[in-house]
């Protein structure tokens, strides 16, 4: 299947990155190369580092970016390792970083990747196909308590306990191997009047995907290291899709843009904390009506931007 993905908030994120023709930039989640193409078009003597942990994504990006290969370095790695990646490239600081945290349309639509409850396949959900942990192991090896916790915390799934209980009960008889088997368990955990809702499995599948790929833990690490890696005046643009992701981004940006973090009741500052970034977006940028019409999967996306000071 061809790698297809529509980059969300493209114009807003590239504008927010404020690209300098001679700067060094990082697309931390390259995907199909849509954002990268708009960045590299603005470069003259500058350089772009394209990072992605999905080899299929990088293969597609190289095709999309073939006219600009002299300005690009491709890295198959997790963006949470950005400090090590830049060290290995002998790059001390960069002028801008973009991270689009969404799952690509290709990953969702390619049945054998096991991301979608709409297509029957072996449970997988790995963005990095070389890692050992996959959705099959999560569903068949995690305890009932851990499954319920993941479903509730990562998916805000209200029937988390019922779904976890059914999974554990059914896997005593046989392994749960496919996306359709998991879908049927989730659906059967709801009263009949809800079982025909098309989006019923969204939250549970999302939660398992987040667990498989360590998305929230990676994000917390990555934000700190991305801010550290910016030159003065460099910008960090992050597009999130999940409320938990956006909460992490918002919290980190607020912390790094605040001088004093002492409790309000203290008579004077004792924390010695000082801001190292300024907020470019006090409120997140969301898709326009036109973008929503052309790409419904952009609906939950939010863009936040900061600048190193």
Within a domain: 41: yes
- Tokens 């990088």 belong to which residue? 58
Within a domain: 59: yes
Report CA Rg, the chain: 21
Last residue of a domain, one of 162, 186, 213: 213
Whole-structure pTM value: 0.89
Residues 207 and 283 in one domain: no
Within a domain: 105: no
Any idea what the CATH number is for the domain that residue 233 is in?
Answer: 3.40.50.150
Within a domain: 2: no
Which residue, among 237, 290, 240, has the nearest Cα to 95 in the 3D structure? 237
Residue 291 pLDDT > 80, yes or no? yes
Residues 91 and 127 in one domain: no
Residues 89 and 231 in one domain: yes
Last residue of a domain, one of 213, 238, 264: 213
Q: Please count the structural domains in the chain.
A: 2
Residues 53 and 198 in one domain: no
Mean pLDDT over 85-114 rounds to 88
Asked whether 23 and 299 are in contact (CB, 8 A), the reply is no
Any idea what the CATH number is for the domain that residue 125 is in?
Answer: 1.10.150.170
Model confidence pLDDT, tens digit, residues 68-94? 999 999 999 999 999 999 999 999 999
Confidence at 281, pLDDT banded by 50, 70, 90: very high
In SS3 terms, the chain reads as CCCCCCCCCHHHHHHHHCCCCCCEEEECCCCCCHHHHHHHCCCCCCEEEEEECCHHHHHHHHHHCHHHHHHEEEEECCHHHHHHHHHHCCCCCEEEEEEECCCCHHHHHCHHHCCCCCCCCECCCCCCCCCCCCHHHHHHHCCHHHHHHHHHHHHCCCCHHHHHHHHHHHHCCCCCCEHHHHHHHHHHCCCHHHCCCCCCCHHHHHHHHHHHHCHHHHHHHHHHHHHHCEEEEEEEEEEECCHHHHHHHHHHHHHHCCCCCCCCCCCCCCCCCCCCEEECCCCCECCCHHHHHHCHHHCCCEEEEEEEC
**Percentage with pLDDT > 70 across the chain:** 97
Residues 88 and 231 in one domain: yes
Confidence at 4, pLDDT banded by 50, 70, 90: low
Residues 87 and 227 in one domain: yes
Residues 89 and 157 in one domain: no
Mean pLDDT over 209-236 rounds to 95
- Average pLDDT over the chain reads 93
Within a domain: 70: yes
Within a domain: 5: no
**Percentage with pLDDT > 90 across the chain:** 81
Within a domain: 73: yes
Residue 3 pLDDT > 70, yes or no? no
- Paired sense of beta strands 302-308 and 277-279, if any: antiparallel
Residue 155 pLDDT > 80, yes or no? yes
Residues 180 and 238 in one domain: no
Within a domain: 295: yes
74-77 — which CB contacts under 8 Å span 24+ positions?
74/30, 74/50, 75/49, 75/50, 75/51, 76/52, 77/51, 77/53
Model confidence pLDDT, tens digit, residues 22-74? 999 999 999 999 999 999 999 999 999 999 999 999 999 999 999 999 999 99
Last residue of a domain, one of 185, 213, 241: 213
Residues 296 and 229 in one domain: yes
Q: What is the pLDDT of residue 301?
A: 96
Residues 267 and 192 in one domain: no
Mean pLDDT over 103-126 rounds to 84
Residues 130 and 203 in one domain: yes
Identify the domain containing residue 199 by its residue range: 111-213
Residues 142 and 219 in one domain: no
Model confidence pLDDT, tens digit, residues 268-279? 888 888 999 999
């Amino acid at each position: 299947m061809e790698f297809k993905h529509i980059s969300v908030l493209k114009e807003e994120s590239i504008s927010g990155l404020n690209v300098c023709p001679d700067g060094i930039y990082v697309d931390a989640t390259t995907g199909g190369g849509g954002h990268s193409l708009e960045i590299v078009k603005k470069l003259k003597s500058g350089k772009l580092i394209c990072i992605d942990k999905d080899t299929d994504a990088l293969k597609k990006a190289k095709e999309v970016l073939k006219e600009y290969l002299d300005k690009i370095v491709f890295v198959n790695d997790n963006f949470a390792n950005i400090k090590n990646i830049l060290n290995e490239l002998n790059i001390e600081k960069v002028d801008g970083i973009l991270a689009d945290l969404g799952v690509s349309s290709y990953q969702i639509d390619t049945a054998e990747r096991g991301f979608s409850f709409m297509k029957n396949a072996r449970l997988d959900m790995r963005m990095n196909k070389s890692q050992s942990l996959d959705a099959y192991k999560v569903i068949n090896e995690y305890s009932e308590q851990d499954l319920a916790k993941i479903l509730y915390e990562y998916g805000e799934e209200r029937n988390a306990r019922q779904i976890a209980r059914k999974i554990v009960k059914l896997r005593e008889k046989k392994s749960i191997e496919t996306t359709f088997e998991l879908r049927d368990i989730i659906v059967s955990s709801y009263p009949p009047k809800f079982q025909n809702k098309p989006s019923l499995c969204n939250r549970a599948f999302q939660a398992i995907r987040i667990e498989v790929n360590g998305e929230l833990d990676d994000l917390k690490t990555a934000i700190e290291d991305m801010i550290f890696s910016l030159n003065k005046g460099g910008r960090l643009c992050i597009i999130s899709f999940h409320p938990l992701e956006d909460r992490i981004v918002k919290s980190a940006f607020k912390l790094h843009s605040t001088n004093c973090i002492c409790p309000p009741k203290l008579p004077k500052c004792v924390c010695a904390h000082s801001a190292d970034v300024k907020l470019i977006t006090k409120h997140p940028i969301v898709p326009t009506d036109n973008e929503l019409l052309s790409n419904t999967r952009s609906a939950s996306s939010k863009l936040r931007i900061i600048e190193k000071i």
